Amino acid sequence: MCKRLLAGVLLAATLAIGVASAQPAPTTPVSGFNPTTSASSEQKLLGTLKQIDGRITIPDRKAAVLEQPAGRDWRDFQRGTIPKLAAVAVLGMLVVLIAFYALRGRIAIEGGPSGRLIERFGAFERFVHWMTASSWVVLALTGLNVAVGRHILPGLIGEHAFAELSDIGKLAHNYLGFPFALGVLLMLFIWVRHNIPNGVDITWFRQGGGLVGRAHPSAGKFNGGQKAVFWIVVLGGGLIAASGFVLLFPFYITDIAGMQTAQMVHGVLALLMIAAMLGHIYIGTVGMEGAFEAMGNGQVDEKWARAHHDLWVAELEARKGAAE
Amino acid sequence: MARMKFLCDADRCIECNACVTACKNANEVPWGINRRRVVTINDGRPGERSVSMACMHCTDAPCAAVCPVDCFYTTADGVVLHSKELCIGCGYCFYACPFGAPQYPRVSNFGSRGKMDKCTYCSGGPEGADGSAAEYATYGANRMAEGKLPLCAEMCSTKSLLAGDGEIIAQIYRERVTKRGYGSGAWGWKTAYQETVDV
């Protein structure tokens, strides 16, 4: 009984304090009321934040972003930087390669092939290379179509055929990202031990890799240039794949600003990698006699191998000698 | 020709969402697609404002500039429309749009979003004759062809959302601000049209 009384007194006291503190403040005269003194201001919000977020009653969370003017900067990047970079990277590289071919011609095996063959790449290595390469070619072409296709193709094939082509291209681009990424990962595992940069590579680059001048600088299984290609593919290709997956699953990984950045990284790196790969394709096919066979059937001429990968041949022979 | 614009007077918007409902009803947009929405800034705090937002039909529209298949075009009224026949649903317009206007019938899996849908300023679309059933099914109402303004603005209970010739609605807003003595500005105008409504 006593307890209950005490509780009642306490409750009454609490209520009394509550009421007292809720006393209305002196009222402001209506004439002096200015509803904008604390009103949300667009300019103030955009000045401090990159985007204006609010609350929304529909379930679509991303619709709560009222305004993100950064979209206009992204637009300028797509309209200015990307087509310019595409032109320089693709056309510029082609011009360089044609000029190089005109000056240097096809690099021949000195004195002709020996006819003795050495296995350079096994079946699995070649499979990984071609899986990555074939998906890369489709990815590069469909990607270039997204980047600059609208400036070239509608005039040639008509806007409907172009839209149809781009639709198929988009699907191919979305799905082929997976075999490409898998290929890059497998390449990292099977070739990383041959691609650690060392002192031999410095000499190789100093002598122009044998491309400039007639020297045949020493090289292991992979020369300095090939190591550069390896790291461009693994690091560049890896980042391109990662940023691509961010875009493939919209709003799962990041927000609109993050996706804009991902697309910019994806586009710039891909264009640079296209330029690098054009060089790689050139030297592996028309640029050098005896080079394509390495990835073609995996067998290279012994003379070619001695000229370009002397340390690798020596290593093979030492291993063979040890086995016998 | 008049340059059509939207202007949301945030000091009048009471977040009733009638514009959203009117839009859905006028255009029969599918479930999950919101051509117009009301966003409340500083909800429950002093200075709270609600803004009804849809496609602002920008000058030099970012969506049109980045579309890989170039499916956007601007009408003589300054309305930004797109062709669903050409659209490949890549999502680029959503990255570029400052107002989150582009909507997609499907989300997520591998970027297959389906054909983009957005506010047409109740102007239909490029395929099918004006006011035809085919046009209605794909793009929604074509009230502009009938000489009417978008239904969202027409139904706004407080006349917060204004649609019409940009010059005229800016003048209406200016008069309001002068008369009542305050105004939080024409939301989105600087981003969409590179101009503000100065009073």
ipTM for the whole complex: 0.89
How crowded is residue A147: how many other Cβ atoms within 10 Å of its Cβ? 19
The count of domains in chain A is: 1
CATH number at residue A187: 1.20.950.20
Domain residue limits at A298: 89-103+116-323
- Option in B10, B40, B71 nearest A55 (CB): B40
Q: Considering the domain boundaries, does residue A78 fall inside one? A: no
Per-10-residue mean pLDDT for chain B, 199 residues long?
A: 92 95 94 93 89 96 96 96 94 94 76 87 92 93 95 96 96 94 90 86
Give me the residue label for tokens 């309001």.
B176
Spatial separation of the C-alpha atoms in residues A307 and A216, rounded to whole Å: 6
Contacting residues of A for B195, CB less than 8 Å apart: none
Directed axis angle between helix A224-231 and helix A199-206, to 10°?
110
Find, in chain A, the residue whose alpha carbon is nearest to that of B184: A41
Looking at residue A23, its pLDDT comes to 45
Q: Does domain B4-187 have CATH number 3.30.70.20?
A: yes
Mean pLDDT value across residues A2-11: 55
pLDDT at A243: 96
What are all long-range contacts of A251-259, with beta carbons under 8 Å and residues at least 24 apart?
A251/A62, A251/B107, A252/B108, A255/A62, A255/A65, A256/A51, A256/A62, A256/A65, A256/A68, A256/A71, A256/B94, A256/B95, A256/B100, A257/A50, A257/A51, A257/A68, A257/A70, A259/B95
From the list A54, A68, A150, the residue facing B68 with the nearest CB is A150
Global pTM value: 0.87
Q: Which of residues 151-190 of A touch B (CB under 8 A)?
A: 154, 159-160, 162-163, 166-167, 170-171, 174-175
Contact A63 B188 (CB under 8 A): no
| Per-residue pLDDT reduced to its tens digit, A211-234 | 877 778 889 999 999 999 999 999
Whether residue A185 lies inside any domain: the answer is: yes
Percentage of residues of chain A with pLDDT beyond 70: 88
Residue A48 lies in a domain: no
- The more confidently predicted of residues A11 and A179 is A179
Chain B interface includes A264 (CB < 8 A): no
Question: Which is nearest to B12 in space by CA: B46, B53, B50?
Answer: B50
Q: Of A251, A276, A321, A313, whose CA–CA distance to A114 is shortest?
A: A313
CA distance linking residue B181 with residue A162, whole number of Å: 54
Closest by Cα among B109, B52, B115 to B84: B115
Domain boundaries in chain B? 4-187
Give the pLDDT confidence of A102-127 residue by residue, as tens digits: 998 998 888 889 989 999 999 999 99
Mean pLDDT over the full length of chain A: 88
Distance from CA of B133 to the nearest CA of A (A): 22
Question: What pLDDT digit, counting tens, does each position of A199-215 carry?
Answer: 999 999 988 887 877 77
Residue A108 lies in a domain: no
Domain-embedded: residue A17: no
Distance from CA of A89 to the nearest CA of B (A): 19
Does the pLDDT value for residue A28 go beyond 70? no
The answer to whether A171 touches B112, Cβ cutoff 8 Å, is yes
- Residue A15 falls inside a structural domain: no
Degrees, nearest 5: CA angle B112-B117-B118: 140
Does residue A21 belong to any structural domain of this protein? no
Q: Is residue A133 part of a domain?
A: yes
